[in-house]
Amino acid sequence: METMIADICSLYHVLDAPHLEICPYHNAAKNICSASLSSITIDRTRCTGYCSSDNYDNCALFLAKTLRRK
């Protein structure tokens, strides 16, 4: 498990980059998630809990996108 997390971090250079406060895949103007395959509209609960907070790295859509890029 630790190896997978390290691999994910290295993909985004998380260890070397400053911490982001919002999800890089959240399009606030259109309220969509570009991490999803279909660019779904984000509901308020998900947006508050993940997209517009530093907790976005616990979002299932963010994690799935990260794993797809590997």
Radius of gyration of the chain from its Cα atoms, rounded to whole angstroms? 12
Distance (Å, whole) CA 20 – CA 13: 12
Query: pLDDT tens for residues 16-64?
Result: 445 568 888 988 888 899 999 998 998 888 888 888 888 888 999 999 9
Tell me the domain boundaries of the chain.
Answer: 19-68
Q: Whole-prediction pTM value?
A: 0.64
DSSP one-letter code for 64: H
- Residue 47's φ and ψ, nearest 5 degrees, are -60, -45
